[in-house]
Structure 1
Amino acid sequence: MAAFAARSSHSAWGLVRRYRIFLGIIATVLIFHLCFINMRPKPKHLLARTVQDVVQFNDVRTPPGYNATRLPAKAAFVVLTRNSELHPLRVAISQIEDRFNRHRGYPYIFLNDEPFTEEFKETISWATNSRVSFGLVPRDHWDLPDHIDRQRMRDGMAFLKSKDVIHSDSLSYRQMSRYYAGFFHKHPLLEDLDYYWRIEYDAEYTCDIDYDPFVYMRERAIKYGFTITLHEFFDTVKSLWSSAQNFMTTYPHYLEEKNTLDWISSDGGNSYNLCHFWTNFEVLDLAFLRSERYDKFFQHVDQAGGIFYERWGDAPIRSVAVSMFLRKEETHWFEDVGYTHTAFQNCPASPELQKKCHCDPGRSIHLNDFSCTREWVQLPPSKA
């Protein structure tokens, strides 16, 4: 019995040793595997860091017989979207086609921070007979900048979440806002354009547009067009105005002499009244965004970090820039363009225009005190 016990003990110890050796081999394999994964070349879309790097990813699909040189203006619809937004985006594009573009043929440019799927590209192409282009956003235009304090950003997100502010803790919303505020117009797919029209996947176009807004703006030297204005949530832009004031003090020569700062400040420039153009719909002259003064202003607010710390949106940033740099005559309210996005809509009241619409003018946001459009209309002309 003693010998049997000794043999059993020895046998058990041998099993333990073999088990430990086996675990050691497994651990070694796992470590090697992880190291190998980290050493493998990254997918090209993860390495794209600059504008030049993403050019190879651009996919332009031109239908037979399409001729962009016949277009009245060098313009396009631009959509920053995700693969998951494919089907609601088809609805918005079908509406803008029915209401306007099927008679015009302006192209579409789709941008994404991840590569578009073949399903997305093929399916979205069915919604229009125009040229469609698919581009990848450069990583250095999208990723969190190095100068941002991560902990401060998380603290700011938590504060807004405690206030139940929309998009309070969304990093992707902040990345989107930064991209629209300062980078989208630098994408290679837009380099030959003079004008752009922003499209959102859940927007609705409720009136026929029987003229060309791009040509309308060009003929009247209009730089910026909008449909809806709103008041921003104070907690999301608490320090935006102080940053703008600092910019105006540092670069007074960039200010338009006949600016519209009275629209965004009701007390002579002491504070921001939170009015802004809702950039979900905007038609603009890209030369404005490419100008030195706009680029300087964006760099200024980007370095301040408020996009990530407080959730400054591209709408208030753009609105402050428009108010500083443009005259009233260079900014236009497209009152006749029926547009609905989420709970807000622009709907013309004129009976003549209503013949071309399917919206309720009594629900147009400009009649609501949450809008700033009436204050915009009441601004005196710059030429007066």
Structure 2
Amino acid sequence: MASQGIIYAEMESYRHMCRFNSGFFYEHPLMKQYKYYWRVEPDVNFFCNVDYDPFRYLRENNKLYGFTISIYEFELTIESLWGHVKEFIQKNPQYLDKNNFMDFLSNDGGDSYNLCHFWSNFEIADMDFWRSEAYTKFFNYLDSTGGFFYERWGDAPVHSIGVSLFADRDQIHYFDDIGYNHGVYSMCPIDEHVWLDKKCSCEPNSDFTFRGYSCGQHYFKVTGKKKPDNWEQYADL
């Protein structure tokens, strides 16, 4: 993998981190008393006023998982992942939610993975979903294959696939009013009303939502959500 130029290819510690975030952090003794979490990485930026309680928003609107950025995964890091996902579904069809979000993950009804996932360095979510029977068995099945180490499976695709398959699609929420940056990718509200109302300090031209390597356009397509009126101004068409 290192010879192919894959980032973190030679780092065992990175693999431990991804595995821990995929299947263990929510069972840590310090976390057991909590239902919700907001993942905050080092070297991130928030650009807009958060003038409401996002945890309360999730609870009152029956949401399980919130994100700001969606992106394509590096295929070489997860070459066998989708095959194992399909094996799990075939053996455990009872866990597949009737109103799942498969069309976000796959363009052909689940035969192949389109690599779209929610960028998990920002997550606001309900840990009781990760603690559920469906996700626990899903993670344990993936973990038994060794893919976190023999390949370089990230927690972002694992979380995204899990919540998209085993939760109701309407329980996944896009926080379009929390300006956010990590590394070279940013979400900045491009709707002028949101940008002004939340007193954002980011530059709308920095928004990644509708750019080529983002899954934002795909997300809006499969959900049927209305795009901001000026979205084409900030898009790769």
For the criterion TM > 0.5, the same-fold answer is yes
Which of 358, 361, 365 does residue 204 from structure 2 map onto?
A: 361
**Shift, 1:258, TM fit:** 1.0
What per-residue deviation string (whole Å, max 9, x for no partner) do you get for residues 294-337 of structure 1?
A: 00000011011111111000001111101111222100000110
Which of 155, 162, 169 does residue 321 from structure 1 map onto?
A: 162
**Residue number in structure 1 paired with 2:104:** 263
Cα distance in 1 for partners of 2:218, 2:148 equals 26
**Shift, 1:352, TM fit:** 2.6
What per-residue deviation string (whole Å, max 9, x for no partner) do you get for residues 155-193 of structure 1?
A: xxxxx1111111111111100000000000001111111
- CA-atom RMSD, angstroms? 1.0
More helix by percentage: 1
What per-residue deviation string (whole Å, max 9, x for no partner) do you get for residues 241-289 of structure 1?
A: 0000000000000110110111111112111111010000000011101
Letter of the 1:366 partner, please give it.
T
Matches within 5 A, 1:156-235: 160-235=1-76
**Residue number in structure 2 paired with 1:307:** 148
**Secondary structure of the residue that 2:49 maps to in structure 1?**
coil
**Secondary structure of the residue that 1:178 maps to in structure 2?**
helix
Q: Work out whether 1:240 is the aligned partner of 2:81.
A: yes
**Residue number in structure 2 paired with 1:129:** none
**Residue number in structure 2 paired with 1:147:** none
Deviates further, 214-223 or 368-377:
368-377
Cα distance in 2 for partners of 1:360, 1:306 equals 39
Q: Work out whether 1:286 is the aligned partner of 2:137.
A: no
Could you tell me the TM-score, scaled by structure 1's length?
A: 0.57
**Residue number in structure 1 paired with 2:234:** none
Q: How many residues align?
A: 222
Q: Once the two structures are aligned, what percentage of the paired residues are identical?
A: 45
Matches within 5 A, 1:96-175: 160-175=1-16
**Residue number in structure 1 paired with 2:233:** none
Report the CA distance shift for 1:252/1:197 in structure 2 as closer, same or farther (over 3 A): same
**Secondary structure of the residue that 1:181 maps to in structure 2?**
helix
Matches within 5 A, 1:42-57: none
- Unpaired runs of 5+ residues, structure 2, are 225-237
Cα distance in 1 for partners of 2:181, 2:42 equals 11
Cα distance in 2 for partners of 1:380, 1:277 equals 15
| Higher RCO (C-alpha 8 Å, min separation 6) | 2
**Residue number in structure 1 paired with 2:228:** none
Letter of the 1:368 partner, please give it.
R
**Shift, 1:380, TM fit:** 4.1
Deviates further, 336-345 or 319-328:
319-328
Cα distance in 2 for partners of 1:180, 1:323 equals 17
**Residue number in structure 2 paired with 1:376:** 219
Cα distance in 1 for partners of 2:208, 2:87 equals 32
Letter of the 2:205 partner, please give it.
G
Matches within 5 A, 1:88-99: none
Cα distance in 2 for partners of 1:362, 1:331 equals 26
